[in-house]
Homo-oligomer: A and B are copies of this chain.
Amino acid sequence: MDFWFEYASTYSYLAAERVEDAAARTGVALRYRPFLLGPIFKAQGWNDSPFNLYEAKGRYMWRDLERLTADLNLPFRRPRVFPRNGLLAARATLALAGHAPMGPFVREVYRANFARDEDISDPAVLAAILRGLGLDARALLEEAGSDPVKRRLREQTEQAAARGIFGAPSFTVGDELFWGHDRLDAAIAWALARAGASGGSCGFPNDF
């Protein structure tokens, strides 16, 4: 199962907190797939988050997030800036490939944005997160700014669009798309049914 997420996305925060446990518990192989919603929204004619463009939708989302984080026992503070620019954080996530598992970094970036109201576009904020995970912040942020990583994020965003992804979080299992934090369990169930049909889990690594 691929987990497609954007760091600016509120509901992706909830999914990021749950996805690794849900996958581990069920034996479903998980791949982290950061991408950018900006280009996808722009293709739909939006130059901002739909939660800012459509007031009632936005008001609902913030209240819903309060309820859901309370239910899930997750810390939440409404960020002063929304949406925050997740470009550098997405690149830093890709830079981790081959160095460290992505999950802990992904979760810490979301907590910075939605629990601590920190500016995740600030390299110092990301460096502190990387150091807190025992990683070489300077080398990884340098790698995050390299052409191969930039290209990889562009390609991944193009792949998201090509797969019909129009929002975050999304989950894909083969060609099947599931949109929204609410559909995490449905995506897991689909992956399990597919694995059953093809003779069991395939043992993909948790990161790529």
Contact = CB atoms under 8 A, between A and B. Distances in A.
A166 interface: yes
A179 interface: yes
13 contacts: A54-B166, A56-B161, A56-B164, A56-B166, A57-B167, A60-B164, A60-B166, A60-B177, A63-B177, A64-B179, A67-B176, A180-B182, A182-B182
Nearest to A170: B60
Interface in A16-59: 44, 54, 56-57, 59
Contact of A44 (B54, B64, B166): B54
Contact of A165 (B44, B56, B183): B56
Contacts of A54: 44, 166
Nearest to A180: B182
Contact of A59 (B57, B60, B164): B164
